[in-house]
Amino acid sequence: MHSFLLAFSLKCFIPFDMMKIIEKAKKEHSLSRDELIYLLKDNTCDEYLFNAADEVRQKFVGDEIHLRALIEFSNICKNNCCYCGLRRDNKNIERYRIDEDTIFKLAEHAVKNLGLKTVVLQSGEDMFFTTDKLCRIIRKIKTLDTALTLSIGEKTLEEYKAYHQAGADRFLLRIETTNRELYEKYDPGMSWENRAECLKNIGISGLEIGSGCLVGLPGQTIESYADDILFFKQIKADMIGIGPFIPHKDTPLKDAKGGTLQTALKVMALTRLLLPDINIPATTAMETLEPNGQTKALQSGANVIMPNVTLTQYRKHYELYPGKSSTNYSPDDSLREVREKIASLGRTIGKGYGSHQK
Ligand code: SAH
Ligand code: SF4
């Protein structure tokens, strides 16, 4: 193996020690903080890293790509995250809530007509949707043949337990960044400790733990990305979404530079190496940054896509960041595009619910 590595390294001018670290990660699924930083700092071995993540993805979760039907059911939010277009101080968006019957109909269409096996309900932190209302919606959607994921922000342990008891399977709550100071600067009034506690409680409640981070917030560093990846491992995440930060004109971070696809892909690929069997989406933000961003992600460790099945009339108002890819397409159009992408990669669409197989 070493002579092969040496030959490859000489041919492609990749530092030998970097290749050794990547090979080690492929076998042992563990790296030190320093090793992660070393790989994140230098871009000479990016293609080698992406290929390694693709191989590990293939070995542990196979060629199936799981589709999740995303329903953005409310853009009303009590929080004021400095990076997000839905923040409460943004007066330039039209706020909406989709009523319970329509949410169910969208889920039903996704499951029965489009054949999707997971419904994801996402929203701002909208207090109108009380635990009772949410549990009613969850119970109704769970009469369909589908897994159900929630992405609705910070809740109490009791609330997470209630969602699980009503039938919800998974919960997405990105830590956004493990740099506490930065988190609290950009998420005014929120506490990093509480967010981390929520992730713990999601696990205790029996829900699968989904988390992730942004890449490219002003002040985020290579070191903090290394910490993010180690944090995902520490919390035993079942799924991790990595999104490049895309500045929104109606937020305090409007003049920021934003994240790059390359760095987001690197953080994602390293996450795949260290958590080999989890679910990792090719995020919409990646596709928004570059037209083939999602394809690149699917070839660098990702195994999930979340097609948007929210009605077009609402979708345009759910602008977490500008240019959210395929905002103008109908649910059926978004799905057709996704199916074509998967076929062109020679991969297949997941037939089961696509839960984390530990
Ligand atoms: N309110 C819930 C879910 C909706 S926000 C929550 O905050 O958990 C979903 C995700 O959108 C956030 O976790 C954040 O990482 C991402 N997001 C928000 N603004 C963004 C931006 N400007 N660029 C890229 N991603 C963004
Ligand atoms: Fe609200 Fe989520 Fe946006 Fe923060 S990221 S403002 S919690 S929708």
Which pLDDT score is estimated for 326? 56
For residue 68, the SS3 value is: coil
| Closest ligand (CA of 322) | 1
Which pLDDT score is estimated for 3? 61
| Closest ligand (CA of 122) | 1
Which pLDDT score is estimated for 201? 98
Per DSSP, 144 falls in state S
For the record, the structure tokens of 239 come out as 């799924």
Tell me the best of 86, 187, 320 to mutate to test the pocket of ligand 2, counting ligand atoms within 8 Å of each CB and taking the most.
86
Q: 212 pairs with which residues across the strands?
A: 241
What amino acid is encoded at 335 in this protein?
L
Domain boundaries defined on the chain: 47-348
Atom of ligand 2 nearest to the CA of 77: 1
Q: How far is the CA of 19 from the centre of ligand 2 (A)?
A: 39
Determine contact, residues 158/204, Cβ cutoff 8 Å: no
For residue 120, the SS3 value is: strand
pLDDT (tens digit, 9 = 90+) per residue, 96-115? 999 999 999 999 999 999 99
Angle at 100 between CA 96 and CA 105, to 5 degrees: 100
CA 34 from chain centre, in angstroms, equals 25
Please give the radius of gyration of the chain, using alpha carbons only, rounded to the nearest integer: 20
In the predicted model, is pLDDT for residue 1 greater than 60? no
Tell me the best of 76, 77, 151, 217 to mutate to test the pocket of ligand 2, counting ligand atoms within 8 Å of each CB and taking the most.
77
Q: How far is the C-alpha of 219 from the C-alpha of 189, rounded, in Å? A: 19
Instruction: Specify the length of the chain in residues.
Output: 358
Q: 308 pairs with which residues across the strands?
A: 70
Q: Please name which of 247, 174, 167 lies closest in space to residue 207, comparing C-alpha atoms.
A: 167
Which of the four pLDDT bands, split at 50, 70 and 90, describes residue 11? low
Superfamily for domain range 47-348 = Aldolase class I (3.20.20.70)
| Closest ligand (CA of 284) | 1
For the record, the structure tokens of 304 come out as 């999930």
Q: How far is the CA of 245 from the centre of ligand 1 (A)?
A: 9
pTM as predicted = 0.96
pLDDT (tens digit, 9 = 90+) per residue, 276-328? 999 999 999 999 999 899 999 999 999 999 999 988 888 889 999 998 755 56
